[in-house]
Amino acid sequence: MINTYETLQKIVKLHAAGNLRDAEILCRQILENEPGNADANHFLGIIAYEVGNLKIAKEYLEKAIGLNPNNPSCYLNMGNIVHDEGRLEESMEWYEKSVAFNYAEKQKAYNNLGVALTKLGRLDEAVEQLKKAIEIDPKYYEAYNNIGETYKYLGMYREALESCENAIRLSPEFVAARWNRSMLWFLM
């Protein structure tokens, strides 16, 4: 019999290292012994999402949420899936469920809400959500880049440029921020 806690820790490490195949194998081993393990279902959903199988990802995440409705990461990941399907309004509902919890990665849900709002053209609301992400994590370079993108759409080029500069300062190799900065220089 496997130790579920230790196996889940291995899965986290394998996932972080990009070894999705071995992480999936370990998830399935857990589910052989504990079919109702919410964490293993959640990880299988994440893995399916990362390899582009959105249908299977949703099935695993729905099962994980049914087994443990108190895991905000499940809501965040479900939001990402429906966002990728182009259902932005629905993705925002999932992100809002995620931010209702107080957890370590809450800034990601605010960031993703901001991105969805930007894509929907609700730019002022997007800025509010992205600012919340940055307040929680002042080193969240993706959120700086995203708020810069939103400022650009608002015609606030100086603020956009400053946000891109912050993203680059925090992550000098972040290509998206460098691209956005060059587009801003062009626009200005």
What is the DSSP-derived secondary structure letter of residue 103? -
pLDDT tens profile 29-38: 999 999 999 9
> What was the pLDDT predicted at 2?
82
Question: Reduced to 3 states, what is the DSSP secondary structure of residue 139?
Answer: coil
**Confidence class of residue 120 from pLDDT cuts 50, 70 and 90?**
very high
Helix axes 72-84, 38-50, angle to 10 degrees: 30
User: Assign residue 86 a region: left if phi > 0, alpha if psi is -120 to 50, beta otherwise?
Assistant: left
- Flag whether pLDDT at 9 surpasses 90: yes
Contact between 168 and 174 (Cβ < 8 Å):
yes
Q: Determine the Cα–Cα distance for residues 187 and 36; give it in Å rounded to an integer.
A: 54
Which amino acid would we find at residue 160?
A
- Flag whether pLDDT at 1 surpasses 80: no
**Confidence class of residue 122 from pLDDT cuts 50, 70 and 90?**
very high
Per-residue pLDDT averaged across 98-123, rounded?
94
> What was the pLDDT predicted at 103?
82
- Flag whether pLDDT at 104 surpasses 90: no
- Flag whether pLDDT at 96 surpasses 80: yes
User: Which residues are CB-neighbours of 63 under 8 A, at least 6 positions away?
Assistant: 38, 41, 45
**Confidence class of residue 69 from pLDDT cuts 50, 70 and 90?**
very high
> What was the pLDDT predicted at 133?
97
Write down the mean pLDDT value for the chain.
95
> What was the pLDDT predicted at 173?
95
Kindly report the number of other CB atoms within 10 A of residue 88's CB atom: 17
> What was the pLDDT predicted at 8?
93
Distances (CA, A) of 165 to 6, 48, 138, 141, 156: 41, 34, 14, 10, 14
> What was the pLDDT predicted at 102?
82
